[in-house]
Structure 1
Amino acid sequence: MALYESEHTKFMREWMEKHPEESREQQKGRALWWDKPPQALDTMKEAEAARVPNKAYYYDAN
């Protein structure tokens, strides 16, 4: 453990000890915003086929 622990960290540790149900809520939130299900192989192939390559100089109008 580190030598220094901020007031916020201490508060969060105590809060999580008193409210263990919040851990499940954290997991639900993470699953909603960050955990993405794997895509099907055919969907990935379609996306790759539809991809348009970037120009060498992005701002060139020609």
Structure 2
Amino acid sequence: MYQSDITQFLNQLKEQKPTLEAEQRQGRALLWDKAPTDLDERARQQASKVEQTPYVYYQNF
């Protein structure tokens, strides 16, 4: 059965480092998988937001 070079490389990598997928999942959980915020917390965050000027590099005080 034909396997591309990339598939062969990935299979070899997984054989050499069997913990690779678990490490990738830990990294994803660290950066991306966040617990959802409740509605009260979200409303509080939106209410405390500071209005940003249209052009942030020019502040006309």
**TM, length-normalised to structure 2:** 0.65
Distance 1:57 1:32 in 2: 33
When residues 50 and 13 of structure 1 are mapped into structure 2, their CA distance, relative to the original with a 3 A threshold, is same
Aligned pair count reads 56
Q: Which residue in the other structure is 2:26 paired with? A: 28
Which amino acid counterpart does residue 10 of structure 2 have in structure 1? M
Paired residue secondary structure (2:33) = coil
Alignment partners' CA distance in 1, 2:31 and 2:5: 28
State yes or no: 1:60 paired with 2:54. Answer: no
Unaligned runs of 5+ in 1: none
Cα deviation 1:1-48 (Å, max 9, x = unaligned): xxx755xx64333211x1443212211111112211111111111110
% of aligned pairs identical? 34
CA distance in 1, matches of 2:18, 2:40: 41
RMSD of aligned Cα (Å): 2.2
Runs of 5+ unmatched residues, structure 2: none
Amino acid at match of 1:60: Q
Runs of 4+ in 1 over 6 A off after TM superposition: none
TM superposition score normalised by structure 1: 0.64
